[in-house]
């Protein structure tokens, strides 16, 4: 009997998460193109079709093999996968007025094999703009979300579809749903075991590098530290050249702390101060020159410049060390989510770019194409890297260090010359009024932040709630707003009483030293409180963001605190004050940040991922 599952790639941000979840359940799986021919499909026992960012009725929808639904094999379609199944078999899929982005409660049919053993109401993660409006002939509904179809099935044909994502942590019983499909419906045996991943990674390094040299980019974070530890077990000490590049956008005292921590682990570290190279950094994209960095406002341009500058500094260091560039590999602690969000071909053939990671820019891809990049963690997610780090004997304080992005605080400053105000600004603001009350005000903020909606990138408005801090009520409003107001992908609470909108003024902001220093001070306040309340391990990540809204205090800026709880870093939720984080801790953060000169207001990000990414840029 065939014992392998095929995961058909429709361009999902979570495609690799499906693969990981299936393997954790003891079933061998392989990600394959959506348009695989029959000869390939016949090698698999069953299939899962991933989500994707396109519409099934669009001329740009990825091509597929319709025979997937006629082979008589079990198929589970997730999000786009469900829509494709329904569309291909004669049902209807349309764009509806209501989006489903973020956590939702759905009703499920307990008689469905897919939901066997589950309660009638389930919390799931939705992320889409289209909906199945008419099921294909022979299909029945198996779940609903506020009147919208959340799942369909044709049990006799063993075809099942769900509009939500069972593979992510935010779907409370997603693992059970996948178990039901794999074992109850597809009848897998569940005997597949994953080989020792550390041994595999070490063998991969030895095979790729041989007797050549490696320049390892070390940041002090868990990913690059585990990378250096793996290199240390795979290669001779004289082959490894670890460098730490200070790009000028680090936290207060960050570089010194990293140097002490890595040297304590026995890493022979070379410290490189390249801050001026980054401030003045330039690059090209699609034939146009962009830069210098300290004049750029577009977040993708910022990321491209920073990523390419890292590569240029690394190339310069190879020369300074007297190494042969043709016999020197670049080693990075690149993770699977980095590649997925950057839309790397290593992760998916169809995925959309959410944000360009500094370790997956054009220059990095060029080096990869030349076979000169070593990335043994590229199949891993953050929690898996932490487990591997512990297995390798790294100290807990290193393994559980909070993630800090390679571009540093540069992508935690929202830069803008002018307020972002589309022609329908007033109309959108009026829509938000529906979420105001006598105690809470909702208003549009004239800046853009990056989000992920329907498996694609959004670059949309921030909405602000202010007034009475009833956190349960605020979280509910924050979940509902992006579903109905499609131009909003992030919602934050502003401390300090109700704000009268509309907000139309910003403080022009670029990546200048004074702006970075102001954010460093605010970030230091927040992290000191996190340490004081022992929250560094409980909260997966806490970005502190500068955004250019002065709220009537000309020249000032504001600070946002983005608490984030996640395991896979592909999805997550904000920490709720009073439940996940003490309200006293939040109050201390706000008080301390407001003491930083030039700060007008403090915001608390209430957005889950999706629709808002972890970072604001």
d(CA 168, CA 150): 16
> Torsion angle of alpha carbons 32, 33, 38, 39, nearest 10°?
-50
Burial class, 336, CB count within 10 angstroms (exposed 0-12 / middle 13-18 / buried 19+): buried
Catalytic residue among 165, 241, 357, 486: 165
Catalytic (active site) residue 100: no
Terminal-residue alpha carbon distance, the chain: 48
The two counts, helices (H) then strands (E), for the chain are: 17, 22
- Here the tokens at position 495 are 């401390």
What Rg, from alpha-carbon coordinates, does the chain have?
A: 24
Helix or strand holding residue 591 (H, E): helix 583-594
Catalytic (active site) residue 167: yes
Burial class, 312, CB count within 10 angstroms (exposed 0-12 / middle 13-18 / buried 19+): middle
Tell me the angle at which helices 197-209 and 382-391 cross, rounded to the nearest 10 degrees: 90
List residues bridging with 290 in a β-sheet. Answer: 283
Burial class, 49, CB count within 10 angstroms (exposed 0-12 / middle 13-18 / buried 19+): buried
d(CA 418, CA 205): 48
**Could you give the strand order of the β-sheet that contains 28-33, starting from the edge strand earlier in sequence?**
28-33, 4-9, 46-49, 75-78, 159-162, 148-154, 140-145, 92-108, 121-134
Place of tokens 């990138």: 457
d(CA 198, CA 565): 26
d(CA 522, CA 252): 10
Alpha helices in 42-166 (DSSP H): 80-88
Of the candidates 578, 565, 576, 546, the residue with the CA atom closest to the CA atom of residue 609: 565
- Here the tokens at position 79 are 């999000």
Cis peptide, bond prior to residue 170, ω within 30 of zero: no
Q: Give 218's Cβ-side CA count (13 Å radius).
A: 32
Catalytic (active site) residue 28: no
Place of tokens 């897919």: 114
- CA separation, residue 617 to residues 303, 471, 537 (Å): 9, 25, 24
Catalytic residue among 54, 154, 167, 179: 167
Decide: 329 and 368 in contact? Cβ < 8 Å: no
Helix or strand holding residue 101 (H, E): strand 92-108
Task: Give the Cβ contact number of residue 58 at 10 Å.
Answer: 9
- Here the tokens at position 286 are 């699609």
- Here the tokens at position 11 are 């361009």
Decide: 208 and 329 in contact? Cβ < 8 Å: yes
Helix or strand holding residue 389 (H, E): helix 382-391
Catalytic residue among 36, 54, 79, 241: 79
Residues in the chain: 617
User: Which residues are marked as active site?
Assistant: 79, 165, 167
């Amino acid at each position: 009997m065939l014992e392998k599952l095929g995961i058909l790639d429709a361009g999902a941000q979570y495609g690799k998460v499906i693969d990981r979840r299936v393997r954790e359940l003891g079933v061998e799986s392989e990600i394959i193109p959506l348009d695989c021919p029959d000869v390939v499909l016949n090698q698999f026992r069953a299939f899962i079709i991933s989500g994707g960012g396109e519409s099934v009725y669009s001329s740009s929808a990825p091509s597929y093999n319709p025979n997937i639904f006629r082979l008589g094999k079990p198929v589970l379609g997730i999000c786009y996968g469900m829509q494709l199944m329904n569309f291909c078999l004669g049902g209807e899929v349309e764009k509806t007025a209501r989006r489903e982005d973020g956590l939702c409660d759905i009703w499920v049919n307990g008689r469905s094999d897919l939901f066997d053993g589950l309660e009638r109401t389930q919390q799931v993660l939705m992320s889409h703009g289209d909906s199945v409006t008419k099921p294909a002939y022979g299909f029945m509904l198996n779940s609903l979300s506020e009147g919208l179809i959340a799942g369909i099935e044709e049990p006799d044909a063993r075809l099942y579809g769900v509009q939500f994502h069972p593979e992510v942590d935010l779907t409370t019983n997603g693992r059970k749903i996948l178990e039901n499909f794999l074992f109850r419906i597809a009848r897998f045996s569940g005997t597949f075991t994953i080989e020792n991943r550390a041994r595999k990674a070490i063998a991969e390094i030895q095979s790729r590098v041989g007797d050549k040299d490696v320049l390892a980019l070390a940041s002090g974070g868990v990913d690059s530290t585990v990378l250096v530890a793996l290199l240390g077990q795979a290669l001779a000490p004289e082959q490894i050249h670890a460098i730490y590049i200070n790009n000028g956008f680090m936290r207060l005292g960050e570089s010194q702390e990293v140097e002490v921590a890595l040297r304590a682990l026995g890493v022979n570290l070379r410290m490189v101060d390249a801050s001026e190279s980054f401030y003045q950094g330039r690059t090209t994209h699609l034939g146009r020159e962009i830069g210098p960095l300290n004049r750029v406002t577009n977040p993708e341009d910022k990321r491209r410049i920073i990523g390419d500058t890292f590569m240029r500094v690394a190339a310069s260091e190879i020369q300074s060390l007297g190494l042969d560039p043709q016999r020197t590999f670049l080693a990075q602690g690149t993770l699977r989510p980095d590649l997925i969000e950057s839309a790397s071909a290593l992760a998916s053939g169809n995925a959309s770019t959410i944000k360009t990671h500094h370790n997956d820019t054009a220059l990095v891809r060029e080096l990869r194409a030349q076979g000169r990049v070593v990335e043994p963690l590229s199949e891993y997610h953050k929690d898996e890297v932490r487990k591997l780090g512990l297995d390798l004997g790294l100290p807990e304080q290193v393994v559980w260090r909070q993630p800090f992005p390679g571009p540093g605080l540069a992508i935690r400053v929202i830069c803008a010359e002018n307020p972002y105000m589309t022609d329908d600004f007033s109309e959108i603001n009026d829509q938000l009024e529906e979420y105001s009350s006598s105690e809470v005000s909702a208003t549009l903020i004239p800046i853009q932040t990056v989000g992920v909606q329907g498996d694609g990138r959004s670059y949309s408005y921030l909405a602000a709630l202010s007034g009475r801090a009833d956190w349960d009520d605020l979280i509910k409003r924050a979940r509902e707003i992006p579903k109905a107001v499609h131009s909003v992908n992030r919602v934050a609470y502003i401390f300090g009483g109700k704000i009268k909108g509309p907000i139309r003024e910003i403080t022009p902001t670029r990546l200048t030293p004074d702006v970075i220093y102001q954010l460093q001070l605010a970030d230091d306040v927040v992290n000191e409180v996190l340490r004081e309340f022992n929250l560094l391990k409980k909260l997966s990540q806490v970005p502190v963001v500068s955004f250019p809204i002065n709220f009537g205090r000309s020249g000032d800026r504001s600070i946002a605190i983005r608490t984030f709880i996640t395991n896979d870093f592909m999805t997550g939720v904000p920490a709720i004050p009073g439940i996940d984080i003490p309200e006293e801790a939040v109050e201390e953060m706000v008080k301390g940040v407001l003491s930083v000169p030039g700060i007008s207001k403090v915001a608390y990000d209430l957005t889950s991922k999706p629709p808002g990414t972890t970072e604001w840029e």
